[in-house]
């Protein structure tokens, strides 16, 4: 990851970096704020002071600009500054009242940041090609390409034929024995359908979506080069002529290097976080309360739980 490329900086962004522009845009507000500060500077405790720097304010302008694609009007800028101060004031007052303590959301949010940061540490390292290759060799199956199938299909609708659909398909198959894929009698034996007559180069996943999982599973097992079936879809029965079957394969590393890198990174992040947490966890001990006097004896009165509680599949 690099910094924002220079060519991505618009004229507006460049202008925003110009101190002169800052001065002109912010002049009014700053003057007011400064005058206010001057008047009260003496005797103001640091905890009661809200100091905004040029960079703070130009950040407000930048954020506004990225939202609205224009600079704030002086009045709007004054509001932004007031908003900023309000946020800071309420934040400080809340801290002073201890509102951050025992607040579940604050705790969880901070815990979430811990994970992000831990993962970032892991992601900071760029893997070498050798590292990736070695890892790929151990994880090849995850990257396998699915088989692809080309076929023609005839549809026997249960809407039209009810329970007879399968038998009708069987009967049609008998007539199609030895016939070619483009046999002219084929269409007359079957029902018009909402599907294509011919599908080329489709994965089982696509066929699962289009015809249902049963069909996708069955078609990969059919012999190619003749009419086969009947096989069942979510809509009825089908006779199928498979004319092309490209088996699934595991690609060479070079074909999918970016994906390997991505997967490697994801795994590394997850490992880094697990390890970080394990290390942290090892420093702590959990003490459970003593059970009431009449509790069953096998509950120890002071339990140390050294591992997180087990989780189970609820289904």
Residues binding another protein (CB under 8 A): 1-4, 56, 59, 62-63, 66-70, 87, 90-91, 94-95, 99-100, 104-106, 108-118, 120-125, 157-159, 192, 194, 205, 208-213, 215, 233-236, 258-259, 262, 266, 270, 272, 276, 279, 311-315
Dihedrals φ, ψ of 221, to 5°? -95, -5
C-alpha angle 123/274/268, rounded to 5°? 30
| Distance in angstroms (rounded) separating the CA atoms of residues 117 and 113 | 6
Q: How far is the CB of 177 from another protein (least distance, A)?
A: 27
CB closer to another protein out of 79 and 226: 79
CB closer to another protein out of 258 and 292: 258
By CB atoms closer than 10 A (0-12, 13-18, 19+), residue 231 is buried
Report helix, strand or coil for 130.
Answer: helix
CB closer to another protein out of 20 and 96: 96
Q: How far is the CB of 109 from another protein (least distance, A)?
A: 5
Q: How far is the CB of 125 from another protein (least distance, A)?
A: 4
- Would you give the DSSP letter of residue 191? B
Largest CA distance in the chain: 103
Q: How far is the CB of 23 from another protein (least distance, A)?
A: 20
Q: How far is the CB of 12 from another protein (least distance, A)?
A: 11
Cα–Cα distances in angstroms (integers) from residue 287 to residues 99, 283, 296, 302, 307, in the given order: 26, 13, 18, 6, 13
CB closer to another protein out of 120 and 299: 120
């Amino acid at each position: 990851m690099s910094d924002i490329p220079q060519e991505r900086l618009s004229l507006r962004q460049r202008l925003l970096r110009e101190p002169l522009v800052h001065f002109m845009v912010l002049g009014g507000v700053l003057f007011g704020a400064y005058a206010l500060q001057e008047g009260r500077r003496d005797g103001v405790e640091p905890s009661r002071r809200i100091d905004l720097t040029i960079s703070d304010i130009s950040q407000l302008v930048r954020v506004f600009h990225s939202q609205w694609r224009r600079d704030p009007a002086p009045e709007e800028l004054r509001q932004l500054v007031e908003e900023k101060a309000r946020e800071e004031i309420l934040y400080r007052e809340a801290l002073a009242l201890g509102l951050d303590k025992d607040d579940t959301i604050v705790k969880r949010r901070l815990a979430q940041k811990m994970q992000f940061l831990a993962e970032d540490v892991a992601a900071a390292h760029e893997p070498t090609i050798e590292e990736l290759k070695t890892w790929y060799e151990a994880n090849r199956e995850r990257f396998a390409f699915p088989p692809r199938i080309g076929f023609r299909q005839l549809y026997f609708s249960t809407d039209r034929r009810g329970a007879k659909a399968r038998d009708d398909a069987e009967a049609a198959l008998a007539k199609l024995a030895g016939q070619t894929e483009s046999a002219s009698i084929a269409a007359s034996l079957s029902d018009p359908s909402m599907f294509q007559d011919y599908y080329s180069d489709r994965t089982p996943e696509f066929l699962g979506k289009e015809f249902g999982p049963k069909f996708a599973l069955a078609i990969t097992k059919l012999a190619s080069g003749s009419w086969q079936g009947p096989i069942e879809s979510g809509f009825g029965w089908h006779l199928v002529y498979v004319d092309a079957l490209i088996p699934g394969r595991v690609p060479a590393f070079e074909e999918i290097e970016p994906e390997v890198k991505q997967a490697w990174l994801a795994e590394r992040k997850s490992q880094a976080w697990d390890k970080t947490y394990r290390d942290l966890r090892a420093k702590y001990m959990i003490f459970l309360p003593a059970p009431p006097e009449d509790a069953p004896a096998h509950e120890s009165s002071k339990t140390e739980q050294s591992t997180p509680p087990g989780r189970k599949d609820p289904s």
